[in-house]
Amino acid sequence: MCLRDWRFVVCLFLTLIAVGCKGKPVPPEVQEVELQEQALWRAEAALYTPEEYDQYLSSLREAKDQLIKEKAKLPPLQNYKLAQMAFQDLLRTGKDLLEKVEDQKLRRSEAISNQIASFTKRIDTVKKLSRMINQGRFARSLLIRTELKVREGDLLYRRGDFIEAEKKLKEAIPYLQDVEDLVFSVLDRYRDESLLGKWETWIGETILESKQNGAFAITVTKIDRKLAVYKGGRLFVTFKVGLGPNSLADKLHAGDNATPEGKYRIVKKIPLSQYYKALLLNYPNEEDQKRFVRGRAENIIPPGVGIGGLIEIHGGGMDSITNGCISLENEDLDKFYDLIDVGTTVTIVGSTRRQNDLFFGQNR
């Protein structure tokens, strides 16, 4: 080989080395995919679309392997066309995947928001009702646990951690179901059609009696905590009232903290009472006494327990301590106290509506 040929070979060799050090530039899609993969990781694609994300990562590994193979070749032999196409496919797949993740997040966000609203509504309902039943203290302890779980879930939801938020809300479900079962087991009697019908009849008879004799009459609806005064069959005035800790149950015996249900009469007006002023009712009446005897015979009433008495409509405020009586604010009692005579009818019922706002229609 002549000197001239050797010079050509050496120049070609040096050129190849120089070019090989630099190498051909990789496709721009490679860096775009790296940024996209980071975005998918931050969006928690592994949690929201695990299968699709795993497939994306598998395709990414294959594309990187293709890229590495091409990089390993001498520059003149490098061809990134196939690798570029693979990364372009990844960009399209990743874009669709990001959209799917965001859609999943939006759906979960809406679902969790609705869940929290539903929990809040159910908790508020049970809170109101738990104050009226004997098991109120135990019910409230269950409610506290429920509220803690819901609050934790709400905090996680506000942070955007929807997966953990769902877990916390799921933990609240058994506590809420237990407290609802407890409360609604007491209130099932308010779904009894025969009992609702009897209450409606009592109210109707009381209003008709007031209309016929032109006198005053009083009705008390326990679940609404409402006292209504009628005159001549027309509604005269209404007030909110306070009741005892077991007010939604029908009174069976002394010490059960229940407010009796039935048609009663005012037998005494007490201008100076422990609770401001008071209107004493004729509890127990004949029906109460019959029910007490039946309860004793059926072992519903404990031995040695009496039937009770001293049921009043009195002042002292709606929040005054009462164990079966009906309490009003003093100024409210003053508005009809002087108008009411001994002998006035007082009818006490559980409810006057078949669909009550507090709990009817709730799913159990």
What CATH number has the domain bearing residue 340?
Answer: 2.40.440.10
Report yes or no on whether pTM surpasses 0.85.
no
Do 258 and 308 reside in the same domain of the chain? yes
Do 185 and 198 reside in the same domain of the chain? no
Please check whether residue 109 lies inside any domain of the structure.
Answer: yes
Do 289 and 316 reside in the same domain of the chain? yes
Please identify, among 155, 170, 191, the residue that sits at the C-terminal boundary of a domain: 191
In 252-311, beta strands by DSSP E = 262-273, 276-281
Please identify, among 191, 207, 224, the residue that sits at the C-terminal boundary of a domain: 191
Please state the domain count of the chain.
2
pLDDT of the residue at 186: 72
Please check whether residue 312 lies inside any domain of the structure.
Answer: yes
Do 81 and 179 reside in the same domain of the chain? yes
Do 218 and 317 reside in the same domain of the chain? yes
pLDDT of the residue at 7: 56
Do 179 and 199 reside in the same domain of the chain? no
Please identify, among 138, 166, 191, the residue that sits at the C-terminal boundary of a domain: 191
Please check whether residue 358 lies inside any domain of the structure.
Answer: no
Please check whether residue 257 lies inside any domain of the structure.
Answer: yes
CA dist list (Å): 151 to 165, 174, 179, 235: 10, 16, 17, 44
Please check whether residue 262 lies inside any domain of the structure.
Answer: yes
Do 243 and 304 reside in the same domain of the chain? yes
Do 220 and 311 reside in the same domain of the chain? yes
pLDDT of the residue at 54: 94
Do 173 and 66 reside in the same domain of the chain? yes
Do 145 and 199 reside in the same domain of the chain? no
Do 241 and 124 reside in the same domain of the chain? no
Task: At 358, list the tokens.
Answer: 């507090």
Residue 74 is which amino acid?
A: L
Do 205 and 183 reside in the same domain of the chain? no
Q: Helices in the chain by DSSP H: which ranges?
A: 3-22, 29-42, 45-48, 50-72, 81-130, 136-158, 162-187, 193-213, 286-297, 330-337
pLDDT of the residue at 22: 60
pLDDT under 50: residue ranges of the chain: 3, 10, 18-20, 357-364
Range of the domain at 198: 193-349
Q: What distance in Å separates the CA atoms of residue 131 and residue 125, rounded to the nearest whole number?
A: 11
